[in-house]
């Protein structure tokens, strides 16, 4: 990838739209666009200052291609840090292509995926983790993933990492300085202060590493397993949550044999509902495979919803108890929500008895609760949404804590921590400065991987290849 040429790409989605934006960035951006743009004002684009807008025509020889609006961004005050022109044209694919082809004939090269952001990174406009957040921001589908990407783009934890890296670097220099005075037995780096810094770094790293679990589920949707015998109303419940008839609702028991996933945002947080076949003991081979799969799905879920039929509670309460106990024993840490569905079909007295019994069965504590609901009428559905939000730990997000969502960062953090632990061991056992310095350098290396101070072409290629063209 050459970086001293001028690149062009469509920045808006391909296809027809009201308008489309074509981006041109590089040293020749303004001088390439200027001769093919005729401003209504008669002014020459080349003479225009940064951050100005100009109405005019894009002209190929004598032919007008389109009436457009051109924005001028002068280096270094642009997204890429280079001279940049953005052409807002009418959104016909024909016009888009005509303009792009014209730019290429006049000396631009077609940009590769993520090349604008790559240039922004290489020109110091953002660090690597911020650049990666741009991709997350573009793909964010709900409030939670949007918030995490925004936070990372604003600097997020890379500022924190950078500060710690600098402090560590200062100590590394002092220790390496000591090596130059080896004969004189001096100590420039105060070992106690150094130990204190290492402890601080460990704390930050551990917090960030732990946040990855939260980050990952928030980014991909929080998996919720819905467990219940066939016909209890799983699909109806999902439909009323979704407010549309997406899953197939059927009268025949056992139709939900395979697992289906439905995604939706509740209170700005993405949820993934995994419909399971239930765990009722059975002789049926197909259904017993279903039970095994249900347990697998529960183990992958963050929350379990156990759905029972309120109408059958009188007759089946002991069976429900056994099934609930089974889930609790197998997954004692997992938040469990017991829902009695079809409560529109039971009498008030039965309802009261149900509440009393479910209070006992569920234990009604922080991790295990119950709810009366009717998927059909929708009563209790709002309460269910509230309970789901309470169950998942969105506290970290609400408190605006930094959350790591990128597995590359996560791995670099794990490796940094490993090296920092080695440094700590070395300090505690009075390891000689030269050996200590090696471990510190390793830790610094992994810190640098996150922010992009340490990179190689393969890594950059990998990261930016995941971007769309034009970003
Ligand atoms: P699934 O097999 O668990 O997915 O169950 P379905 O969602 O297919 O529901 C089975 C039947 O129960 C359907 O006829 C639904 O209309 C009915 N049903 C579901 N929820 C309720 C409810 O809350 N009240 C009543 N009266 N019927 C319900």
408 annotated among ligand-binding-site residues: no
Nearest residue (CA) to ligand 1, atom 20? 233
383 annotated among ligand-binding-site residues: no
Structural domains of the chain ordered from first start? 7-126 (3.30.1360.120), 132-215+403-464 (1.20.120.430), 221-398 (3.40.50.300)
Q: What are the C-alpha distances in Å from 269 to residues 142, 194, 215, 229, 264?
A: 6, 41, 12, 28, 8
Relative to beta strand 37-39, strand 7-10 is unpaired
Q: Is 251's C-beta closer than 6 angstroms to any atom of ligand 1?
A: yes
Give all strands (DSSP E) within 204-323, no chain letters. 222-227, 260-266, 269-275, 303-309
Nearest residue (CA) to ligand 1, atom 6? 233
* Nearest CA among 27, 128, 41, 29 for reference residue 72: 29
Q: Is 341's C-beta closer than 6 angstroms to any atom of ligand 1?
A: yes
Angle CA 138–148–244, to nearest 5: 70
Q: Tell me the two tokens of residue 211.
A: 């946040």
ipTM beyond cut 0.90: yes
Which residues, 6+ apart, have CB-to-CB distance to 347 below 8 Å?
none
Give burial (CB, 10 Å; 0-12/13-18/19+) of 310. Answer: buried
What's the CA-to-centroid distance between 187 and ligand 1, angstroms? 75
What pTM, to 2 d.p., does this model score?
Answer: 0.64
Cα 306 from Cα 327, distance rounded (Å): 9
Cα 393 from Cα 276, distance rounded (Å): 23
Cα 6 from Cα 21, distance rounded (Å): 17
Nearest residue (CA) to ligand 1, atom 25? 342
- pLDDT values of the chain reduced to their tens digit, one per residue, 471 residues: 567 899 999 999 888 899 999 999 999 999 999 999 999 999 999 999 999 999 999 999 989 999 999 999 999 999 999 999 999 999 999 999 999 999 999 999 999 888 999 999 999 998 888 888 888 888 787 777 888 888 778 777 788 888 889 999 998 888 888 888 777 777 777 889 999 999 999 999 998 898 887 777 777 788 899 998 889 999 889 888 876 434 444 444 444 434 456 788 887 778 888 888 778 776 676 667 778 888 988 998 889 999 999 999 888 888 899 999 999 999 998 899 999 999 999 999 999 999 999 999 998 888 899 999 999 999 999 999 889 888 875 555 555 567 787 888 898 999 999 999 999 999 999 888 888 889 999 999 998 888 888 777 777 877 787 777 778
């Amino acid at each position: 990838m050459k970086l001293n040429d001028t690149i062009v790409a469509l920045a808006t989605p391909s296809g027809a739209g009201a308008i489309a934006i074509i981006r041109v960035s590089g040293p020749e951006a303004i001088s390439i666009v200027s001769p093919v743009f005729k401003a209504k004002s008669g002014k020459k684009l080349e003479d225009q200052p940064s951050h100005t807008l100009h109405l005019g025509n894009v002209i190929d020889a004598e032919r007008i291609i389109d009436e457009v609006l051109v924005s001028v961004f002068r280096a270094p005050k642009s997204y890429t840090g280079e001279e940049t022109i953005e052409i807002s044209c009418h959104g016909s694919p024909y016009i888009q292509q005509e303009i792009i082809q014209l730019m290429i004939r006049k000396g631009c090269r077609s940009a590769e995926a993520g090349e604008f952001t790559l240039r922004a990174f290489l020109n110091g406009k953002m660090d690597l983790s911020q650049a990666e957040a741009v991709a997350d921001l573009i793909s964010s589908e709900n409030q939670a993933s949007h918030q995490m990407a925004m936070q990372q783009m604003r600097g997020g934890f890379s500022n924190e990492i950078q500060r710690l890296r600098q402090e560590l670097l200062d100590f590394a220099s002092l220790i390496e300085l000591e090596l130059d005075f080896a004969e004189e037995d001096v100590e420039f780096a105060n070992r106690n202060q150094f130990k204190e810094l290492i402890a601080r770094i460990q704390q930050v790293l551990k917090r960030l590493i732990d946040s990855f679990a939260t980050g990952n589920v928030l980014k991909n949707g929080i998996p919720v397993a819905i467990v219940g015998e066939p016909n209890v109303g799983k699909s109806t419940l999902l439909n009323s949550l979704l407010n549309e008839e997406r899953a197939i609702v059927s009268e025949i028991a056992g139709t939900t044999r395979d697992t289906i996933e439905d995604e939706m945002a509740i209170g700005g947080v993405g949820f993934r509902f995994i419909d399971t076949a239930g765990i009722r003991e059975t002789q049926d081979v197909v259904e017993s495979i279903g039970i095994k799969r249900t347990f697998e799905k529960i183990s992958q879920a963050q929350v379990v919803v156990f759905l029972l039929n309120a109408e059958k509670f009188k007759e089946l309460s002991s069976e429900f108890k056994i099934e609930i106990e089974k889930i609790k024993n197998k997954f004692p840490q997992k938040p469990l929500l017991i829902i009695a569905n079809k409560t529109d079909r039971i009498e008030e007295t039965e309802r009261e008895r149900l509440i009393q019994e479910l209070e006992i069965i569920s234990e009604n504590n922080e991790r295990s609760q119950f709810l009366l609901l009717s998927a059909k009428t929708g009563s209790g559905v709002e309460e269910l949404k509230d309970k789901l939000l309470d169950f998942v730990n969105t506290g970290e997000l609400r408190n605006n804590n930094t959350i790591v969502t990128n597995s590359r960062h996560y791995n670099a953090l794990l490796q940094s921590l490993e090296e920092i632990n080695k440094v700590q061991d070395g300090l505690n056992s009075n390891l000689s400065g030269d050996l200590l310095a090696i471990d510190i350098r390793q830790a610094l290396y992994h810190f640098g991987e996150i922010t992009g101070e340490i990179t190689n072409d393969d890594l950059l290629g990998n990261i930016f290849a995941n971007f769309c063209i034009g970003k």
